[in-house]
């Protein structure tokens, strides 16, 4: 009725506070995939929380430890700490970032994450791993696709090693290319639930896409 009158074109999606679905949707991802935000003219969507719930909205504390791989420039870590105030947020990147209150940042390669003692001690205890990690592109598709897959594969292996097998969640941003199917197939062989989604806020011409994997144990 009031569409376009207030000039609102951004939204924060928050889901996961209930142990059982209420209504037609049980996750932020399903809200995005419904297409309702596109119809309403929203241009940018922000996601906080995940289907298993998190401590500030879930009394059981479903998201105690979070690992942000490829954290620079720090946007995801900042959002997570803002929404999940009681969570222990750990971030890693070879690039430095400005200090973020409440975020434990370490300048290190993802391949060498075991060298970071504070993170190493949480192996198998991380509830949520997110990754926005990407290699420098050469402009040569064959080389870029191979490099993207290699980095995604390393990140996936790290996530599996560090995630809790009891409802641990992995979300990775990658790109639609000839290697995407291989990455998704590997995730299907590991996780109990795997989903592919492209947020409505992502430009149609953009090749970026997100993969979601979750343990249900």
Catalytic center residues? 173
CA distances from 28 to 48, 49, 114, 178, 205 (A): 8, 8, 32, 28, 23
CA triplet 205, 206, 211: central angle to 5 degrees? 135
What secondary structure, in 3-state letters, does 25-81 show?
CCCHHHHHHCCHHHHCCCCEEEEECCCCCCCCCCCCCCCCEEEEECCCCCHHHHHHH
**Exposed e or buried b for every residue in 58-72, given b needs 16+ CB within 10 A?**
beeebbbbbbbbbbb
**Are 48 and 31 contacting, i.e. CB atoms less than 8 angstroms apart?**
no
CA distances from 129 to 21, 61, 192 (A): 23, 16, 16
Containing H/E element for 154?
helix 141-162
Q: Among residues 151, 156, 139, which one has the least CA distance to residue 94? A: 151
């Amino acid at each position: 009725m009031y569409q376009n009158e207030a000039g609102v074109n951004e939204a924060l999606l928050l889901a996961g506070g209930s142990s059982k679905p209420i209504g037609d949707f049980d996750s932020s991802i399903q809200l995005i995939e419904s297409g309702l935000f596109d119809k309403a003219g929203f241009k940018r969507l922000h996601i906080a929380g995940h289907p298993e719930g998190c401590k500030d909205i879930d009394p059981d504390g479903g998201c105690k430890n979070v690992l942000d791989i490829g954290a620079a420039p720090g946007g995801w870590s900042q959002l997570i700490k803002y929404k999940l105030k009681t969570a222990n947020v750990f971030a890693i990147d070879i690039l430095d970032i400005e200090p973020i209150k409440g975020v434990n940042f370490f300048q290190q390669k993802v391949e060498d994450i075991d060298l970071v003692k504070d993170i190493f001690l949480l192996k198998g205890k991380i509830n949520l791993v997110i990754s926005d990690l990407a290699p420098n592109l050469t402009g040569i598709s064959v080389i870029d696709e191979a490099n993207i897959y290699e980095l995604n594969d390393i990140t996936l292996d790290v996530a599996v090693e560090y995630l809790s097998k009891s409802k641990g969640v992995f979300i990775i941003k990658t790109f639609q290319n000839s290697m995407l199917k291989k990455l998704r197939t590997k995730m299907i062989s590991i996780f109990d639930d795997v989903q592919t989604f492209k947020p409505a806020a992502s430009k149609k011409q953009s090749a970026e896409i997100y993969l979601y994997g979750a343990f249900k144990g």
